[in-house]
Structure 1
Amino acid sequence: MSYGGYPPPTGGPPGYGAGGGGYGAPGGFMPPPGPPPGADPQLWNWFSAVDADRSGHISAPELQRALINGDWSAFDLDTVKMLMSIFDTDRSGTIGFNEFSGLWKYIKDWQNVFRHFDRDHSGSIDGSELNQALAQFGYRLSPQLLDLLQRKYAATAAAAHGPPPGISFDRFVRACVVIKQLTEAFSRLDSDRDGWIQINYDQFMETVLSLP
């Protein structure tokens, strides 16, 4: 998988980019276990390539080294940790092959979404494109919130004045997921669906801390 129109290197895992090499089994390392019955051979090869220490599980640093954006920049570590939290169903701190399979499909789906809304094919999402994406997802943010969101997830620090820079693929995924999680948390408290809630400090902290 690659982003921004870049094809994946031959035989590489989703988003697998520069710094490949070194995935051979050095002396002293146990060979990786065989694929589970019925596993997609190509997906298993990608999983094995990402599993650099041959543990049979993928850690956040291993996953980060395997994922790149369309400009060949590495995925933001916070985004990688968010993806891990979604698919680490047994809460082991790592993901096995089955969990990796779900994560791989999830990223592929988001890749298609990103390409759809990157209207100018710039490899990043600007404010207008972000607004269109969120509106299609059912989230209508005020101009102030939209500007705040764009500046928070821009790939580089936003200037005090002028439009913020675009949002890269990894940060776009994170921004959309965070909006979804916050909206769902609010909706659970907005029992009468009037767009207003009244909560005390403990309820607020519990809501915020319970988010992945």
Structure 2
Amino acid sequence: MSYGYGAPGGYGGPPSQPSYGQPPQGGYPGGYQGAPQSGGYPPPQPGYGGYPNVDPQIMAWFQAVDADRSGQISAHELRSALTNSNYSHFNEEACRLMIGMFDKDGSGTINLNEFQQLWTYMNQWKGTFERIDANRSGSIESHELCAAFNEMGYRVSPQFAQLVCTRYDYQGRRALTLDLFIQACVLMKMLTESFKQRDSSMAGTVQLSYEDFMCLTMWNKP
């Protein structure tokens, strides 16, 4: 089994440097319900201590999303805060996968430090989506998706991008909204990291047992 690498020495993914900036008009990403206004961050809440290296803006976003003030964010809380350009909420699976990227203890939630890491990925993926969506339609088609993957360092074919669009476009439009694009990006990241662990020589080719192959593909569940 082989996989086309991205830039030399890497398998693709968001740039390593965060790009926080200010939340765009209308929210983040694509629309955020109830976000704090610039310069008016809410005061720290119980359970938020012990995070000296967290950006204050991200602290404010985290507090706005953490509806139950538990100091943890669930997929449900994340979904209630994120919308696409058409004001539809992100789909549940995309939010579950985003939480799962950093949910190390299997609790189904992430803390503030983990949210800061997730913020970096969301910020970069949203930036890629907006650059590729040249006509500002709020969705990208397969040829645009192929360009996006290649921009992130994944060398994939147009046929692969078409397959992804078909697989994740639940509405049959052959185009991905921001949440579906991020969902595909999360799975690309997870599968690539799993493949990379098995590719010790960085050759782009590995030998897989039947069970190993099934474990990889189970990430790509309906």
**Could you tell me the TM-score, scaled by structure 2's length?**
0.69
- CA distance in structure 2 between the aligned counterparts of 1:102 and 1:196, rounded to whole angstroms: 30
Q: For 2:73, what is the secondary structure of its paired residue?
A: coil
2:187 is aligned, of 175, 178, 187, to 178
RMSD: 3.4
Judge conservation of contact 1:69–1:168 (CA < 8 Å) in 2: yes
Corresponding residue for 2:26?
Answer: 8
Q: For 1:167, what is the secondary structure of its paired residue?
A: strand
- CA distance in structure 2 between the aligned counterparts of 1:53 and 1:81, rounded to whole angstroms: 18
1:134 is aligned, of 137, 145, 149, to 149
Corresponding residue for 1:201?
Answer: 210
Q: How many angstroms does 1:150 deviate by? A: 0.9
Q: How many angstroms does 1:72 deviate by? A: 0.8
- Report Cα offsets for 1:56-82 as digits up to 9, x if no partner: 211111111011111111111111111
Corresponding residue for 1:28?
Answer: none
Q: How many angstroms does 1:138 deviate by? A: 3.3
Judge conservation of contact 2:164–2:184 (CA < 8 Å) in 1: yes
Ranges in structure 2 where 5+ consecutive residues have no aligned partner: 1-22, 36-43
Judge conservation of contact 2:143–2:161 (CA < 8 Å) in 1: no
- CA distance in structure 2 between the aligned counterparts of 1:174 and 1:75, rounded to whole angstroms: 10
The count of aligned residue pairs is 189
Between 102-111 and 73-82, report the one with greater CA deviation: 102-111
Judged with a 3 Å threshold, the aligned counterparts in structure 2 of structure 1 residues 62 and 142 are, in CA distance, closer, same or farther, namely: same
Corresponding residue for 1:161?
Answer: none
| Higher RCO, 1 vs 2 (CA within 8 Å, ≥6 residues apart) | 2
Whether 2:46 is the aligned partner of 1:33: answer yes
- Report Cα offsets for 1:100-138 as digits up to 9, x if no partner: 222223212222111111122212111221111122233
Judge conservation of contact 2:47–2:71 (CA < 8 Å) in 1: no
- Report Cα offsets for 1:143-165 as digits up to 9, x if no partner: 4322211111225124xxxxx2x
Q: Give matches, 1:38-53, under 5 Å.
A: 38=52, 39-53=54-68
- Which is strand-richer, 1 or 2? 2
- CA distance in structure 1 between the aligned counterparts of 2:170 and 2:163, rounded to whole angstroms: 14
Judge conservation of contact 1:110–1:173 (CA < 8 Å) in 2: yes
Question: After TM superposition, what 4+ stretches of structure 1 lie above 6 angstroms from structure 2?
Answer: 191-194
Ranges in structure 1 where 5+ consecutive residues have no aligned partner: 22-30, 159-163
Whether 2:203 is the aligned partner of 1:168: answer no
Indicate the structure (1 or 2) with the bigger Cα radius of gyration.
1
